[in-house]
Structure 1
Amino acid sequence: MPQLTRRSALKITAAGLTTALSGALSGFGPKKPQLAFSTLGCPKWSLDTILKTAVTAGYKAVEFRGLEGELDLTKSPAFRTVNQATETRTRFADQGIQICNLGSSAQLHHADATKRARNLDEARRFIDLAQQLNCPYVRVFPDQLPPDQSREKTLELISQGLLTLGDYAKKSSVTVLLESHGELTRSDLLVQILETAKHPRVGLIWDIFNMWADAPEAPAEVYRKLKPYIRHVHVKDAKIANGKHQYVLTGQGEAPLREAIDSLKAGKYEGYYSFEWEKLWHPDILEPEQAIPQYPKAMKAYF
């Protein structure tokens, strides 16, 4: 029997992976979307389970928002040292899975010097980690419009924070992305922030549901305004009753996903459509074992 070398083993693995993915992604049109999921949706899963699910369900990437209860990825055993980060990156790359985004908790609206420094420091640590992982993006939050400071002051603080982080990232291959989140989901406010923070290492995550639920703007109009800045997209679905929303499986709710995705396709968006199942914040919703494998199947309806 011929000896099985590491190179031949990798070829066999790659062939099997190609077969698995071709089956998982069948049913899409000729332009298959790049699908990812956020670990926000599987807060108890191990790294092994995350990677196995990504491969078998037909994903191309994983977005890390915490791992096994630790939201600060720079403190997680899978990422804490350069060697650990390199090992994790290699494990995912060997299975054809990109680590596409790191979700920090950094907030840029703070005026208090101590809070501001702490949040900017977290974002810098995430940028350093992303560079080690060959990960293109780090997410930061806007996040609030505090009543004790003017709106203009808050928007300026957020813009300046983005510029500071963009400058920090400019010697790397990482781009800092502001997510449409919290009290800043109106397109006019986001445009104002991003126009002031124009930088080659700064962009936007369009969370389709957040913007639609919080501000009554048509997705096509939102996309028209934000297109120059969008680098990454968050997708989730929900039903709204009595002013409250209940997350449901993709395609089973009221979010205007088709209008948003049609706008993205027409605009030749080629980034990731990342499934953000908010299981960590809403433990009563369906388990990730149901929701995460369902997403690629549901997305076929939009492509």
Structure 2
Amino acid sequence: MMKPYNRKDFLQTSAILIAMGLTGSGFDFKKKMPLLSFSTLGCPDWTFQQIVDFAVDNKFDGLELRGILRELDLNKCKEFSNPESIAATNKLMKEKGLHFSDLGSSAAMHHSDATERKKNLDDAKRFIDLAQKIDCPNVRVFPNNLPKEVDRNITIDLITQGLIELGEYAKGSNVTVVLESHGELVYVKDLQKIMQAAAGNNVGLVWDIVNMWSVTKEPPATVYAALKNYIHHTHIKDLKVTDGKEHYTFLGEGETPIFEAIDILYKDGYKGYFSFEWEKLWHPEIEAPEKAIAHYSKVMRAHFNG
């Protein structure tokens, strides 16, 4: 059950914001829109052409690919299945003025079984290869629920070593392997430990603000101060709790401090994408993508223009 954002949290956040110079009259937006993208997790039944056209019509800058037509292995999608298709896809993106913000792989770093671990690392490497071919700066990997039968510190070390291996594989490219704050890996101290050991060698972090806040309730300013040097990409969403259960909402209609996090990133000069993650593939009951994704663009533009 989510706890309310109380006075203690507010005072702590305010103090950190003041220290960072993010409050007061100096906190004025420069009327420059940040980079907006959305994850194709939110539109699992759209063709690539539909995705591209919708992005253009709704003034997005980029696309975060997390599957096309429910195929999560992008290398199997027709748009990336051979050099000719890749060239045509790149041409379409250029003509439309779009960029790829991130490739969302299914590679999980928490496995200890040697066979499963190799499979996931190999999958991530294939995504790194594809990212280079389509000029995509980030490949997302993740952990989920950490195995109960394995000591937590051992699993964290495995995740760290996996990132180091992938970072070495990506060395010399423009691709960064980004670990998402996801599953049970949402505590600052754990993410700090991993990033301090692995980041900087083509390795960084996806800050999924709500994934973290919904579990830890740490104010965004606290999280950002600890992890800011590692953040290459973000996942933006909102939710509220009804009858003890989490429900995704349109941006700004939930109870998370999502705009606080967005403003902190923007004011401190974050140059990456604010990528909307509407988890329609995993939660088919939520609102249709043409409504939710369009709403995200409108709300973000109103926020930064107003």
Does the pair score TM above 0.5? yes
Normalising by the residue count of structure 2, what TM-score does the alignment of the two structures yield?
Answer: 0.88
- Name the aligned partner's letter for residue 168 of structure 2: D
Aligned counterparts of 1:226 and 1:167: Cα–Cα separation in 2? 22
SS in 2 for 1:227: helix
Is residue 209 of structure 1 aligned with residue 213 of structure 2?
Answer: no
- How far off is 1:214 after superposition? 1.5
Gaps of 5+ in 1: 1-27
- How far off is 1:266 after superposition? 2.6
Please list every run of at least 4 consecutive aligned residues from structure 1 whose deviation after the TM superposition is greater than 6 angstroms.
Answer: none
- How far off is 1:103 after superposition? 0.2
- How far off is 1:223 after superposition? 0.5
SS in 1 for 2:105: strand
RMSD over equivalenced CA pairs, Å: 1.2
Checking the alignment, whether the CA contact within 8 Å between 1:239 and 1:254 is kept in structure 2 is: yes
Aligned counterparts of 1:286 and 1:206: Cα–Cα separation in 2? 24
In the TM superposition, what whole-angstrom CA distance separates every residue of 1:203-248 from its partner, at most 9, and x where no partner exists? 0000111111121111110010010000111101111123321111
Alignment of 1:109-124 (within 5 A): 109-124=110-125
Aligned counterparts of 1:263 and 1:199: Cα–Cα separation in 2? 22
Aligned match of 1:49: 50
Aligned match of 1:142: 143
Alignment of 1:81-92 (within 5 A): 81-92=82-93
Aligned counterparts of 1:299 and 1:85: Cα–Cα separation in 2? 31
Aligned counterparts of 1:67 and 1:228: Cα–Cα separation in 2? 32
Alignment of 1:1-303 (within 5 A): 30-303=31-304
Pick 1 or 2: higher relative contact order, CA cutoff 8 A, min separation 6. Answer: 2
In the TM superposition, what whole-angstrom CA distance separates every residue of 1:83-104 from its partner, at most 9, and x where no partner exists? 2122112111111000111000
Moved more, 119-128 or 195-204: 195-204
Aligned counterparts of 1:180 and 1:120: Cα–Cα separation in 2? 18
In the TM superposition, what whole-angstrom CA distance separates every residue of 1:13-38 from its partner, at most 9, and x where no partner exists? xxxxxxxxxxxxxxx95221100000
- How far off is 1:82 after superposition? 2.2
Checking the alignment, whether the CA contact within 8 Å between 2:34 and 2:266 is kept in structure 1 is: no
Aligned match of 2:19: none
Moved more, 55-64 or 254-263: 254-263
- Name the aligned partner's letter for residue 160 of structure 2: S
Aligned counterparts of 1:137 and 1:301: Cα–Cα separation in 2? 27
Normalising by the residue count of structure 1, what TM-score does the alignment of the two structures yield?
Answer: 0.89
In the TM superposition, what whole-angstrom CA distance separates every residue of 1:60-99 from its partner, at most 9, and x where no partner exists? 0000000001000011111111221221121111110001
Count of aligned pairs: 276
Checking the alignment, whether the CA contact within 8 Å between 2:199 and 2:230 is kept in structure 1 is: no
Aligned counterparts of 1:177 and 1:73: Cα–Cα separation in 2? 17
Checking the alignment, whether the CA contact within 8 Å between 2:250 and 2:296 is kept in structure 1 is: yes
Gaps of 5+ in 2: 1-28
Checking the alignment, whether the CA contact within 8 Å between 1:187 and 1:222 is kept in structure 2 is: yes
Aligned counterparts of 2:281 and 2:80: Cα–Cα separation in 1? 20
- Name the aligned partner's letter for residue 33 of structure 1: P
Checking the alignment, whether the CA contact within 8 Å between 1:231 and 1:271 is kept in structure 2 is: yes
Checking the alignment, whether the CA contact within 8 Å between 2:164 and 2:201 is kept in structure 1 is: no
Aligned counterparts of 1:50 and 1:198: Cα–Cα separation in 2? 32
Aligned counterparts of 2:232 and 2:124: Cα–Cα separation in 1? 18
Aligned counterparts of 2:261 and 2:106: Cα–Cα separation in 1? 26
Aligned counterparts of 1:198 and 1:291: Cα–Cα separation in 2? 33
SS in 2 for 1:147: coil
Aligned match of 1:25: none
Aligned counterparts of 1:137 and 1:193: Cα–Cα separation in 2? 18
- How far off is 1:301 after superposition? 4.5
- How far off is 1:267 after superposition? 1.7
